[in-house]
Each structure stands twice: as C-alpha cells, then as structure tokens.
Amino acid sequence: MRHEAETGDRFAEARAAMLEKIAQETVETAGWTGRPQLRPEVLEAMGRVPREKFLAPQDVGEAYRNRPLPIGCAQTISQPFIVALMSDLCGAAAGKRILEVGTGCGYQAAVLTELGCDVWSVESISALYKGTCTRLRDLDYAQVHLRHGDGTQGWPEAAPFDGILVTAAAAQRIPPALIEQLSPGGALVCPVAEGGSLGSLLGQPAQKLCLIEKDAYGVVSRRAVLPVAFVPLVEGS
C-alpha cells in the first residue's frame, strides 16, 4: 500500500518538518542506538502515512509534532521518531513478516504496511481494536491481519516472524512466547521497565527500549538501545 500526498495537502509542510525532526533526533541519539541515520525507505514510509487520520479531531493540529498523543483508553500514539526507530531496528522491509503487539490506533501497522511488510497485529483493548479495524479498512490498510486478545502470547499459528514490535513496556522481562516466535535472523524490539518506581524517583530512566536478535542458530542476544517511556504492557487480557 502506497499513499501519496493529496493535492493541496494542508499537512505537507508539517509532515516534512516531522521527517526533518526524526532525522535530527536520529543523529542526536546515535550514541545510544548506533544508528546515525535510518534507512531512507523508513522515512519515506513515515512520510506517506497520514498521521492526522489516526487521532481524535481535537488533536489533529498536533499530528506531526514529534511527541506521543492520546488515543483514548489511557493509551497513546507513539512519538514519530520512536515509530521510525522501531521500524528500522526490527528490519521492516518489503516481504518481511512482522508481528506487532499493541495495535493501538493502527499508526505503526500502517507504517509497516507502507514498508511492504506483511503485518499481524494484536490489541488487548476491545474499544481500540474495534475502532482500528474500521480505521485501517477506511484508509485502505485492510490487508493488516488484526486480532483482539493477549498480545504477549503472540500469534502462534502465523509464526515465525522476521520481526516483532511491542508497543508497550513489559515488566522486567520480554514475554517468552514472543522470543520463541521470532525467526532465526530476526529482531524483536520491546520497551522493558527495568528501573521500577525507585528508578523514576531517582531521576533514572525506568524503561529501556531493548533489541533482541536471534542468529541463524537460534542463539538470542539482547542489548538496551535507548531510554523510553511507554504505557505498561498488560498480560492475560
């Protein structure tokens, strides 16, 4: 699915500014991430997705600010830089099979689709799931496979996946089922709450964005990429 900018698009300037901000923040965080720039196709995909369509009317004016925004049900749409970074880290590209845990409003799934990925996405909150099914269909992203359920269990019958994205913070550990469903050579990106409330009180990052990689022999490695702030991942929904 490739969306093109509409004639007279009133968000064109703001969208371009968003892409510049993503590129700037990528350079600023390169010491953490090891990535001074993201793949051009990731930025191109970000530029094609109409972020304003994933927000409530009162927040549309903020659509291309490089910040998270509320989407209801105490959830947020992630900061554009984080969406782009996670897409890059998991190796999202044409023909890749990607699992997303936490569909939310569907924005990350749309970006993955624009990259040419085959996307499976699980959302635990019923109200978000129903609204996002309609939204993605209306925006011509109906090819995304959607499920309402416990994303920490992954999508076993569709596994394995080349990449897995978790859009909420796991407590202390990444769900084992997700690591099991990652293909050899694949990458899993997940925020993990490691510092707890004490870490927050001491002014330390309570969460780290973690990259899990599985080599061709199935050996798993893990590294912390960046301090982040996500809503909690709920297991057993």
pLDDT along the chain (237 residues), means of 10: 60 96 98 96 98 96 96 95 98 98 98 98 96 97 96 97 96 93 98 64 70 96 95 77
Domain spans, the chain: 12-228
Residues tagged active-site: 78
DSSP tag of 151: G
Is 129 within 8 Å of 86 (Cβ atoms)?
A: no
Centroid of chain to Cα 54: 14
DSSP tag of 106: S
CA distance 175 to 77: 22
Question: Domain 12-228's class?
Answer: alpha beta
CA distance 74 to 47: 27
Residue 25: what pLDDT? 98
Residue 172: what pLDDT? 79
Residue 194: what pLDDT? 76
Residue 137: what pLDDT? 97
Record the pTM.
0.92
CA separation, residue 125 to residues 129, 148, 213, 222 (Å): 6, 7, 28, 29
Per the document, the length of the chain is 237
Residue 201: what pLDDT? 42
Is 103 within 8 Å of 135 (Cβ atoms)?
A: no
* Cβ-Cβ contacts under 8 Å for 224 (sequence gap 6 or more): 208, 209, 210
